Structure 1
């Protein structure tokens, strides 16, 4: 009588994360189509403004006055739908509210309503520019995510200008920045499992980011109000000297905090969800990019060059932060890092699905 072989226990695989299904393709295609249509309208107006001396454009005729407002309305409506979808909100309500507020401000007019619509556009676009990113295993992929966020923020800048706000530049920038910070931290509080999931290292990172943000804003304000005139003049002269030679001077807040936070944060999210807390400080880059055209003294060329220089310098700072992070917490040696990059990573939903 032969002994029966012991039954082998069934092999249980690692369960796949239960992610929410993304939006319907028809809904997503419609929203992206509305966004593209608004971008084309704003791009037409921008090109006409840049090359208004061109004889061919003069023969075509000026851009109708309603194009700017219509393009801005389409863009902010589409961005509101995308942001609500990404954060598991109510897309129809968010997009409908943005549409009503935008159309109402254009029809009624007035300084307050148009400026409020521009602020709403900057906040929604800047926050969505951060939320649309996905985890990045390598530095180059993190840079790709930052470039995508910058493109969304620059499109938001065109939409904000389309409302033709009448603003004090400093107040407008601060209002958009604080509102965007409040919104993105509220969203990330849920995505990052609250403050209790940060740990000591995460709390240190968040506290450091807040310290850099507050110190930069406070120093700029104190320097503007109470700084020694000779020192302030020397800083302004250096900025003007740089602008005269390379076309623009990047904002320190974007270079030192916003872009590095997006680079390091997207890289960190490939391993830990607490990387969302680092990414939240990316609004320190996307908000200034979204408000870069609001100032009457700014131009399309200067805003584009300022964004380009900030991306390059900030990406280098982010590279240093990633390397320091890997030195202290990652696998030792180049071979170990390559194996870690090729191994399994923390999954996240697709770019347009709910987080």
Structure 2
């Protein structure tokens, strides 16, 4: 854990120097390589893989990218960094018995993804913003589902409840992305203008507008999943959809039209609103599956001790 913190801290300092800016032009690239390779190492260690192999491979690819200075390599490295950061942010969480612990886990995930966002832009990718966001989200979701598939030892660990969660989650993702794309391409002028007016008002008066997929799907899924994992193993399948939030954070700085301050506020607003939605979802879940009354709820929390490895230990 100490090694991880030191390496990420060193990489973050190099990335911040590039923002200020202080130091040589190549310093942010070095910071990106350090963070990306450390994240790759940590994700492999957390998921029971080979951290030395994947960490070394990430270093080699990062150095080659910086030396070659090719747009395609830089873009590929940025995508890899964004995806690894998004998946690691979800995998680094631990079960949460109470809502206060749920908030803690979501904040930790956002911080991990936030550092990943800085490392992503440190590679200076040449991208189309919308395509980059879709690609990183899609790859992150596939990666998270594959890891959870391994954690659950296949689909037979889903059960009816888990299967319903996965199906509903995929439907929500599909509907959200399809609606956004249809609205962008074929939406009625009046409806689009009304939505844009809301976004403009929020950006003018509040400094930012929360990203819908983070607020409506990502944070609630991550929060509810961490809460469920303390009670049922199917919670991991819910957590997998938390990459809707972590990938949104990890690619949040890729849009050059949005300032750093606005990106930060957007993430913060999405986190707060998403946690409020999660609180309602968790309360409904407890009302339907748990015991009623404060005394029964305290007894349920005391019994919610499903074992899971510590944050710094391998899940497999």
TM-score (norm 1): 0.87
1:207-233 Cα offsets, whole Å, 9 max, x none, are: 111111110100111111111122212
- Alpha-carbon distance between aligned partners in 2 of 1:105 and 1:90, rounded to the nearest angstrom: 23
Gaps of 5+ in 1: 1-27, 50-61
1:95-127 Cα offsets, whole Å, 9 max, x none, are: 011111111111101211101100000000000
> 1:39 aligns to what?
12
- Alpha-carbon distance between aligned partners in 2 of 1:144 and 1:192, rounded to the nearest angstrom: 24
3-state secondary structure, aligned to 1:177: helix
1:32-54 Cα offsets, whole Å, 9 max, x none, are: 321111011112333x15xxxxx
1:113-158 Cα offsets, whole Å, 9 max, x none, are: 1011000000000000000000000011011000000000110010
- Alpha-carbon distance between aligned partners in 2 of 1:104 and 1:320, rounded to the nearest angstrom: 48
Query: 2:3 is matched with which residue: 30, 33, 39?
Result: 30
Deviation at 1:303, TM superposition (A): 0.8
Query: 2:82 is matched with which residue: 107, 122, 139?
Result: 122
- Alpha-carbon distance between aligned partners in 2 of 1:192 and 1:331, rounded to the nearest angstrom: 27
Query: 1:254 is matched with which residue: 193, 214, 220?
Result: 214
Query: 1:313 is matched with which residue: 265, 273, 283?
Result: 273
Query: 1:228 is matched with which residue: 181, 188, 192?
Result: 188
Query: 1:165 is matched with which residue: 119, 125, 144?
Result: 125
- Alpha-carbon distance between aligned partners in 1 of 2:179 and 2:65, rounded to the nearest angstrom: 35
CA RMSD of aligned residues (A): 1.1
3-state secondary structure, aligned to 2:310: coil
1:211-263 Cα offsets, whole Å, 9 max, x none, are: 11110100111111111122212211211111110000001111110000111
> 2:179 aligns to what?
219
Alpha-carbon contact 1:258-1:282 (below 8 Å) kept: yes
Alpha-carbon contact 1:191-1:273 (below 8 Å) kept: no
Deviation at 1:63, TM superposition (A): 2.8
Query: 1:191 is matched with which residue: 123, 146, 151?
Result: 151
Alpha-carbon contact 2:29-2:122 (below 8 Å) kept: yes
Alpha-carbon contact 1:31-1:81 (below 8 Å) kept: no
**Rg larger for:** 1
- Alpha-carbon distance between aligned partners in 2 of 1:331 and 1:43, rounded to the nearest angstrom: 49
- Alpha-carbon distance between aligned partners in 2 of 1:120 and 1:298, rounded to the nearest angstrom: 22
Alpha-carbon contact 1:32-1:78 (below 8 Å) kept: no
1:270-306 Cα offsets, whole Å, 9 max, x none, are: 0111100000000000001000001110111001100
Deviation at 1:344, TM superposition (A): 5.2
- Alpha-carbon distance between aligned partners in 2 of 1:199 and 1:326, rounded to the nearest angstrom: 19
After TM superposition, what 4+ stretches of structure 1 lie above 6 angstroms from structure 2?
none
Query: 2:91 is matched with which residue: 131, 147, 152?
Result: 131
Alpha-carbon contact 2:129-2:254 (below 8 Å) kept: yes
Q: How does 1:1-355 map to 2 (within 5 A)?
A: 28-46=1-19, 48-49=20-21, 62-343=22-303, 345-355=305-315
3-state secondary structure, aligned to 1:346: coil
TM-score (norm 2): 0.97
